[in-house]
Amino acid sequence: MQRRPRIAVPPSPMPVHGRSRRRSLVGLVALLVVAGCSSAAGGAAAPTAGSAGNPATQATAYPGWPDPGNVTTTGNLIPILVSSELSVGKNRFLVGLADAQNNLLAAPDMAVHLAFYDLAADPSKPASRADGTFVWAVPNQRGLYTSDVTFSRAGDWGVELTAGKAGATPATVRVTFQVRQTSQTPAIGAPAPASDTPVLKPGVAISQISTDTHPDPSFYQLSVKQALAAHKPFVLVFATPKFCTSQVCGPTLDNVKSIAPEFAGKVNFIHVEVYDLSDTSNLKPVPAVTEWGLPSEPWVFVVDGTGKVFDKFEGVVPLEELRVSVAAVAG
């Protein structure tokens, strides 16, 4: 089987474990179950890109909270932190659930409540709370929960998840993670990098720049640089349906393609393949991956007419959430 290369990311003040340990959600479940009591520093239980790329690194334990790489739980519940970067400000928090037998538990009929703790400030009092919204990562196969959370400062944080189905006793689990001062990917409101991404040209087939099995030619007419020069809103999708380790690149790209006709003439849409396809025996990330600071794939960015990032989504992008975001920049 072909070995997938690591996605290179720019230097970061905090460890980016996703660069060296990238697995699908199923692989991550097995990893957490088998090695859930190992130290993240030892490597066995370190979260991965497609997981919570930054395990907490506190020097001392916080009362009531597990050490990095561990969880504390009242039931047969293992959290899968899916967000690969969390930073000061507003974040889209993604989490999955599994049991000790590697079964994925997230489902439409399972409710999840999240309590977020600023551990350095007060490990006993939640800084904020949120209900998780269930979304399918892979339609009718794998699900996740999303919530919006604002982190007031960088450092050690924890989340307590309470999950259960109606009529059943809920289980709780606690896990720690790290919040960065700044994000690797362009921040909301920041200028979008003017990447010279591949486009269709005479003699160039779509298959040479995309692994989408049912590509929309309109997604390959403009480079990011050209889209910025047009001073028109655009949606940028970084996804590699064929080589995606998280196995949600195809569904994410399909979701974006499905709403594109609604915004014809108002918003441009661009798909950028994560890897250079000129040599599929030795896949290497395209330059835009580094320029946009991607720690994982897929990612979707919504850019407004002034060239600033209006919204960004890692991994799963629910249709309605994406539609609202694109409509906002479309005017």
pLDDT digits (tens, 9 = 90+) for 85-135: 899 998 999 999 999 888 999 999 999 999 999 999 999 999 999 999 999
Q: Parallel, antiparallel, or unpaired: how do β-strands 234-238 and 268-272 relate? A: parallel
In a domain, 184, yes or no: no
The confidence score (pLDDT) of residue 246 equals: 63
State the first-to-last Cα distance of the chain, in angstroms, to the nearest integer.
47
| 223 and 114 within one domain | no
Mean pLDDT for the stretch of residues 238-262:
87
Is 61 contained in some domain? yes
**How do residues 178-223 score in pLDDT, each as one tens digit?**
999 999 999 999 999 999 999 999 998 999 999 999 999 999 999 9
pLDDT of 288 strictly over 70: yes
Q: Is residue 38 part of a domain?
A: yes
C-alpha neighbours within 13 Å on the C-beta side of residue 71: 29
Q: Does 10 reside within a domain? A: no
DSSP codes, 294-329? -SSS-EEEEE-TTSBEEEEEES---HHHHHHHHHHH
70 three-class SS = coil
- Residue 15 contacts by C-beta under 8 Å, 6 or more apart in sequence? 54, 57
Both 25 and 173 in one domain: the answer is yes
Confidence of residue 60 (pLDDT cuts 50, 70, 90): low
Q: How far is CA 37 from CA 51, 67, 192, 280, in A?
A: 17, 9, 40, 38
Instruction: Kindly state whether residues 135 and 210 are assigned to the same domain.
Output: no
Distances (CA, A) of 294 to 186, 238, 308: 9, 9, 17
Task: List the alpha helices (DSSP H) in 150-305.
Answer: 224-229, 249-259, 287-291
In this structure, are 168 and 217 located in the same domain?
A: no
290: domain CATH number?
3.40.30.10
pTM of the model: 0.76
Q: How many domains does the chain have?
A: 2
- Contact call for residues 185 and 203 (beta carbons, < 8 A): no
Q: Is 260 helix (H, G, I), strand (E, B) or coil?
A: helix
| 214 & 161 share domain | no
Q: What is the pLDDT of residue 98?
A: 92
Domain that holds residue 285: 206-330
CA 76 – CA 60 distance, rounded (Å): 27
Sheet holding 110-118, edge to edge: 72-73, 171-179, 155-165, 110-118, 128-131
Predicted confidence (pLDDT) at residue 310 exceeds the cutoff of 50: yes
